[in-house]
Each structure stands twice: as structure tokens, then as C-alpha cells.
Chain A
Amino acid sequence: MEVSRHWRLRQQRYALVGEVCPHCDAKIFPPRDICPDCGQDAKTLYQFSGRGEVFSYTTVHDAPAGYEENAPYTVALVKLEEGPMLTAQLTDLGEQPVEIGMPVEMVTRRLREDGERGMLVYGYKFRPRLTAA
């Protein structure tokens, strides 16, 4: 596994750091340095709240190599409160059925492992948003 490939994404994987466009104020995740809305330079870092809602979801039974251990698992498109969408697994679902529009929040979890002695890759997943008791 390529270690630096995952290491250089640590701000995004662990803290949802993207960018904000200084010209049109669009929030950008994943960061890409050029605003997808207005096409101008956008390199100002911006930390997302981690709150969003489920835009779509499905369950993976036949997992790609490296992900078999967790199968079956739920993958979703999550629309963040600030606007952008991302692809992530849902976790901590318990018996709760997933629905489009369900409020979710970011947590840090293990994404994959490379065998018993290999590297562990951590990153964001999303769980049903906790509400105050």
C-alpha cells in the first residue's frame, strides 16, 4: 500500500478540511484549488462542520479487494450542510433503517487494513446524528 498517498490526505480524512472560494464564497470539498462554481483560484482552507444528510445510499455485499472484512456495509452520498457532497460509508446504524434525507454527522473510523501486519487506513464515515436526550 502506498503510505504517502493516504498520509497526505490526513487533513481531509480526519478533519474534513476543504476550501472556500474567496471570490464567490462557495465551499469546496474535496479541495481542488480551483473553484468548481466560478473557475477562479480558491486555496483558502475551510473546515467543514461534519453535519449533513443522506442524498442516496446502497449496501455493498461483494466488496472490492481490501474491503471484504466489513461487508456488507452501507455507502452513501452525503450532502454536507455547507453545500458540497461526498462519498462515505455510514456506520453505527444499529437497527435504524437508512432513509434519504436522514441527518448524519462525521466520525473517524477504520476504512481498510492491508493484512495482519499492514497499514491501517482511517478516515471519515458518517453516523445518524446524535440528538440531546
Chain B
Amino acid sequence: MREVAVLGIGQVPVAEHWERTLVDLAGEAALLAMQDAGVERIDSLLVANMLAGTGDGLQLNLGAQIADWCGLRGVEACKVEAACGSGGAAFRAGLLSVGSGLVDCVAVVGVEKMSQALGRVTTAGLATAADADYEAAHGPSFVALNALIMRRYMHEYGWQHEDFAPFSLNAHANAARNPYARLQFEVSEAAYRSARMICDPINLLDSSPIGDGAAAVVLVPAERLGDNGGHRRVVVAGSGAATDSLAIHDRHQALCLAAAETSARVAYAQAGISPADIDFFELHDAFSIMAALSLEACGLAEAGRGPRLGLDGDIRPEGRLPVATHGGLKARGHPVGATGVYQIVEVVRQLRGEAGDNQLRRARVGMAQNIGGSGATILTHILRTK
């Protein structure tokens, strides 16, 4: 497979965009990415989205609709869906398309429109990431499924709830400097401790906020990069995708993200690096427990020791392994189907040295991990400067 580069990036702020449609948001992100890349035509458009086919506003066939809106009528286009992992899955599909040599320029746009549905409808929509007959039919919300994992994790490894606070505090501190973030404010440890309980032991400040958003990238073969319009050049060094059972109760180990472990191992091998070579990690902190499990599965912490990296300050921008450098899902926001593409955009901003007030001192190898469901579909990508 030929080497693939990220030529352009674009994003709109995660927010409640009452006045804007899904297509409008997706179109803006895609056109921003194409403008950043300096291209007027693409060969293929891949759309990442989870919820447009649920709830009241049913709309499928997003590929054609968004392509037309962008002035790209006639171009190949379709949607890629893997619940909250849709963005990572669409990015990988774009990578394989360009890498195969069949197409030369692909735009991947992740988009989600969540502010217009009633809360209980969104809650039911998010529960479609779980097993409909054997999980969702029994009434757990998606938060509840994560709470089941977190309670058992605390029970087995002896952590207290406040030990997870650093994941939330770090994410908010970074989001406060990101103009694209949904929650641009810091939170205190006291606020974390006293936040409203959602599904015990998960409280409001363990949980990522939903939102409307869209992010996009343009992928080309690395040999087409040229001087990349003056930006530092970024290539995809490794890509792994793996699955686990849809339902938590079917897993061999409920507290291990097996698909994260497999996909990370594949990505490390492709990139020819070990976990210690990762400079920063955009992880899937939909809930703080997921941050801990991701770190462990990716070989960045021992099993059951994930919260230690937070407590020791390793995950902060000046630490050994910065995570959620733009706020993560927790505070940048989690427009579910778009999230995986936001993560890639944020990795590219760091690698280019264009992350503004969030710029890390050392950013040469970055990793993004996107999770669909409670651990069923996991995509891991490693990008680096060239």
C-alpha cells in the first residue's frame, strides 16, 4: 500500500447550532478542509455519522446529499457507520481508498446533529450502539453500560471515584484554550466531587457532552504532498481496526478493551514503534473510565493502573503523555459520529505546530483512538510528521 498523507483539515466548533442543518455543518467542514488542502475537486467523499437514521428527523443517503451541497455533484460518496466509532472507521476507509491507488484524493467528513431531538430520543438513539435485543431491551442507557464497567473496575482494583478526577480536569483545562470546544472552561476538583450523579458511579463531570459538529480531512498519496502550502507535512504511519462483542456481558473480560489492544498493536507494528514512542494521545474519553481502559489496552499503563497516569500528572500538556490536548470528548464535546474525525484534525494540528495555545513542545508522533459502542468497534491511528 502506498503512503498516505493528510493534506487538509477543517472543523466547525462543537456547539448547539440551532440555526444550522446537518448538511450545512458537514459542508462547511468539508469545504474548509479542501480549502486548507488547496484542492477544488476530490475523487471520493466519505461521510461518518451515527444518528441521522434514528429519532424523528430520519435522513439516510448522506453521501450524495452532502456531496451535492458542497458542489461536488457526481463524485463517489457514501456513509460509514460504526456508532461513536464512525469517524475513525470512515478515516480508515479513506486511508485504504487512497492507499490502494484506486483514488487519488478523498475527503472524509464526520458530522452529527444532536441538539434538535428531545433528550429521551437522543438517549434511545445512543443506546442503538448496544445490543438491541439483549442490552437495550432491558432499559440501560448508554451511560448505564459504562457505569456497569466503572463500578466493577473500582471494585476489582480498589480505586475511589475521585481518583478519576484528573481525566476530567485535564480535558477541561485544555478545552478552555480551544475555540472549537463545546465546554471552554476549567473545572475544579471540588466541582468534580460534587457534580450531579448520572448513573452511579458516573457523574456529570465523568461524562462527555453531546453537541452538533463536523470535522473533515483531505487525504492524498504522500508523493502528492509537495510543500503542503507551507504546513508541516503529516502522514499516516499506522492504522488498526478491530472488534469485540457488541454486548459487554458477552466479553471474555469485561474490564479489558480487547479491540483497543488489537488495533493499537497493529498500528504500532505498521508504524514500527512501541507505545513509549507516542508523544501524545487523543483518546476516547466519552466517560472517564474509558480513558483509563484505553491507556491500559494501548500498553501505556498496566491493567488496573490507568488512573495513576492522571494522578501523577503524566496526562497534562507538560507531562510524559499528554492526552485530550484539545479537550477530548469530555470537553471539546462528543458529536458522536463526527468525534473520530475531530480527533484526527487535532492530531494534525499538533503535528503541524498549529495548535495555538494548546501546542505541545514535543509533537512528532501522535495517536488517535476512536471507540464505537462500549468497546465493540475500535480504530487506532498513528500519524507523524514527514
Contact = CB atoms under 8 A, between A and B. Distances in A.
Contacts of B148: 56-58, 75-77, 87
Q: Is the interface of B mostly helix, strand, loop or mixed?
A: helix
A14 interface: no
Interface of A: 5-6, 9, 30, 36, 55-68, 70, 73, 75-77, 84-89, 100, 111-112, 121, 123
A96 B137 CA distance: 25
A88 B138 contact: yes
17 contacts: A30-B134, A56-B151, A56-B152, A57-B151, A58-B200, A59-B200, A60-B139, A60-B141, A60-B144, A62-B123, A65-B121, A77-B148, A77-B248, A77-B249, A87-B148, A87-B247, A100-B152
Interface string B112-127: 0000000111011001
Chain B CB within 10 A, most for which of A5, A6, A77, A100: A77
Contacts of A112: 137, 139
Chain A CB within 10 A, most for which of B121, B249, B250, B254: B249
Chain A CB within 10 A, most for which of B136, B138, B245: B138
Q: 4 shortest A-B CB distances, which residue pairs?
A: A58-B147, A56-B152, A64-B124, A85-B249
Contacts, number: 102
A62 B140 contact: no
Contacts of B134: 30, 86-87
A66 B124 contact: yes
B111 interface: no
A114 B137 CA distance: 13
Chain B CB within 10 A, most for which of A58, A60, A76, A100: A58
Contacts of A67: 139
A15 B201 CA distance: 32
Contact of A65 (B120, B138, B147, B198): B120
